[in-house]
Amino acid sequence: MGEAWGRFHRDKAAMAGMVVIGTVIIVALFAPWVAPFDPDAQFFDGLTLDGAPKPPDSTYPLGTDLLGRDLLSRLLFGARASLIIGVVANVAAVTIGAALGATAGYLGGRIGNAMMRFTDLMMAFPALLLAIALAAILEPSLWIVALVIALVNWVQIARVVYTQTRALAEREFIEAARSLGAGTGRILLRHILPHLVPTLLVWGTLGIATTVLLEAALSFLGVGVQPPTPSWGGIIFESQSYFLNAPWLVFFPGAAILGLALAFNLVGDALHDALDPTQRGRD
């Protein structure tokens, strides 16, 4: 573990990604104290004389939106929605995918094949279209959007875990555990799961980037987090008709989404390299 941490720590891109993630987490936690204004407050001086959003100035550092609300405050509070959905949805997706993939891989036979055919069936549906359909049916809210994203994101994880579990199930230490009378649950939890942790950690980190982008897409399409709760994708959705006259309304939330997704991707890639046993001794 010390060697893996050393490889990870030497990756400057990953360290930059950690700084970005840490900053967003701090901002999300302390948004009520660091935001200059109430994110839902509409200001009389927040619009121009023509009723258009105001560009960035000394009072509103990132400008205002179409209702005269401070964009910076809405972005700071919107970080909460992106992080909550990204973490909750991805933890749920990893849990579902790992449980199903490991069970199918260990049991094999008809049960394992049936479980993986169901996974293949879910993979056949376009994730975004399936998420839109589920979100529309379940009346989207913060937690419903997280659940919807989890329900469409577990399939890839299940596939990877299934392949690794099939290989582990044939190893000698698993045969030894069976011969000593260990049950299926004990073998999965005590002997197979520890070998899957590096893979799940990498997929969990990379998956948050995908989840953040999917949440932004759902909010942009109007089936994500609903107003008045601010979210980065929702801000772009509300401001799409102003992107020529008030480009800051699209640029700043878009940059926030891109930056957070890129940060998680950099950290995930570095974790993969650090935990890859083939990289040991190469530094």
| Residue owning tokens 């050393």 | 6
**46 within domain boundaries:** no
Q: Residue 63 contacts by C-beta under 8 Å, 6 or more apart in sequence?
A: 53, 54, 55, 56, 57, 71, 246, 248, 249
pTM above 0.75, yes or no: yes
Residue 67 belongs to a domain: no
Residue 44 in domain:
no
Q: Is the pLDDT of residue 215 over 90?
A: no
- Helix (H) or strand (E) segment spanning residue 211: helix 193-220
Query: pLDDT at residue 268 above 60?
Result: yes
Q: What pLDDT score was predicted for residue 281?
A: 46
Tokens of 67: 């209702």
**The dihedral of CA 22, 25, 30, 32: what is its sign?**
positive
Distance CA 253, CA 233 (A): 7
Q: What CATH number corresponds to the domain at position 246?
A: 1.10.3720.10
Domain that holds residue 224: 2-25+79-279
Letter for the amino acid at 275?
L
Q: How many domains does the chain have?
A: 1
Whether residue 190 is predicted with pLDDT greater than 90 in this model: the reply is no
Would the pLDDT of 193 be above 90? no
More confident of the two residues 171 and 63: 63
CA distance 278 to 5: 15
In this structure, the number of other CB atoms found within 10 A of the CB of residue 5 comes to 10
Q: 196: pLDDT confidence band, cut at 50, 70 and 90?
A: confident
Instruction: Determine contact, residues 105/162, Cβ cutoff 8 Å.
Output: yes
Residue 40 falls within a domain, yes or no? no
Is 6 inside a domain boundary? yes
pLDDT in tens, 93-128: 999 999 999 998 888 888 888 988 888 888 887 777
CA dihedral 156, 154, 17, 232 (to 10 degrees): 120
Is the bond into 126 cis (omega within 30 degrees of 0)?
no
- Does any domain span residue 38? no
Q: What is the pLDDT of residue 30?
A: 92
235 lies in some domain: yes
For residue 283, pLDDT beyond 60: no
More confident residue, 172 or 54: 54
Cα separation, 113 vs 154, whole angstroms: 17
